Amino acid sequence: MEYSEKQLAIINSAEKLFAVTGFAGTSVRDIAQEAGVNVAMISYYFGSKEKLMEAVFEQRTNKIRMKVENLIQNNELTNLQKVNILIEDYVDKFIDQQEFHKIMIREQLIDKDTAIAGFIHELKKRNLASIKKLIQDGQKSGEFKKNIDIVLMMTTMVGTVSQLITSQRFYREINNMEHLDEMEFQKHMRKKLSAHLKHLFKVILTNEA
């Protein structure tokens, strides 16, 4: 779905507040104030706070889902090359959208049967189905091993990136990187995470040492 400039302003404001105070702790009035609009406008565009949260998720996840689907159709790349591109996209997405991933972590830790929890669950299932197709293509061609726990593999990637992002201050200090400005440090994190995960996935997926 294409959103107008005003709708995107509301979505971005909602994302910012949901990341800080959680879905339950954020009111529609808070979002309206942050976005500089009236409450009626949020109701007009999105209908409810739950639908606004869904819009946040759709806005942040549509591109990566489309990228995976396009990769699957690309016959010029090996399946391992496709996985490597996917890793780079995930790392970029996590680092560029840190507030969104705070929301993901927060809402999953609540572990309640809510509309938002159900939406996250369905979103993860759709994403996993696309990844599974990519891995199965590699298995059919003989490029990848047969017995691969795809859920655990993706959990490894998401967990690794999430952990580094949440503990980046510690990582910066322990590696004596306090002298780097924020842009340089983020660039370093992207490079290190991508290289680490590409090596790890190569070991998990292929028979190469």
pLDDT in tens, 34-72: 999 999 999 999 999 988 988 888 887 777 777 888 888
> What is the mean pLDDT of the segment spanning 159-188?
91
- Percent of the chain having pLDDT more than 90? 50
The region of weakest confidence among 21-25, 39-43, 106-110, 205-209 is: 106-110
pLDDT of 99 reads: 80
Q: Which of 86, 80, 16 is nearest to 52 (CA)?
A: 16
User: What CATH architecture applies to the domain 60-205?
Assistant: Orthogonal Bundle (1.10)
pLDDT band at 2 (very low <50, low <70, confident <90, very high): confident
Task: Take residue 150 and report the two structure tokens written for it.
Answer: 């795809």
- Measured between alpha carbons, how far is 148 from 170 in angstroms, rounded to an integer? 33
Task: Say which residues have a Cβ less than 8 Å from residue 94's Cβ, sequence separation at least 6.
Answer: 101, 161, 162, 165
pLDDT band at 98 (very low <50, low <70, confident <90, very high): confident
Average pLDDT of the chain to the nearest whole number: 87
- Is the Cβ–Cβ distance between 1 and 26 less than 8 Å? no
> What is the mean pLDDT of the segment spanning 103-130?
75
Task: Take residue 33 and report the two structure tokens written for it.
Answer: 């104030």
Domain chopping of the chain, boundaries: 60-205
pLDDT of 209 reads: 53
Between the CA of residue 173 and those of 16, 34, 98, 167, what are the distances in Å?
Answer: 27, 34, 20, 10
Q: Tell me, what amino acid is at 35? A: A
- Asked if pLDDT for residue 115 goes beyond 90, the answer is no
Find the angle CA(110)-CA(111)-CA(114) to the nearest 5 degrees: 95
- Asked if pLDDT for residue 186 goes beyond 60, the answer is yes
Rounded to the nearest 5 percent, the helix, strand and coil shares of the chain are: 80, 0, 20
Crossing angle of helices 150-166 and 182-205, rounded to 10°? 160
Tell me the pTM: 0.77
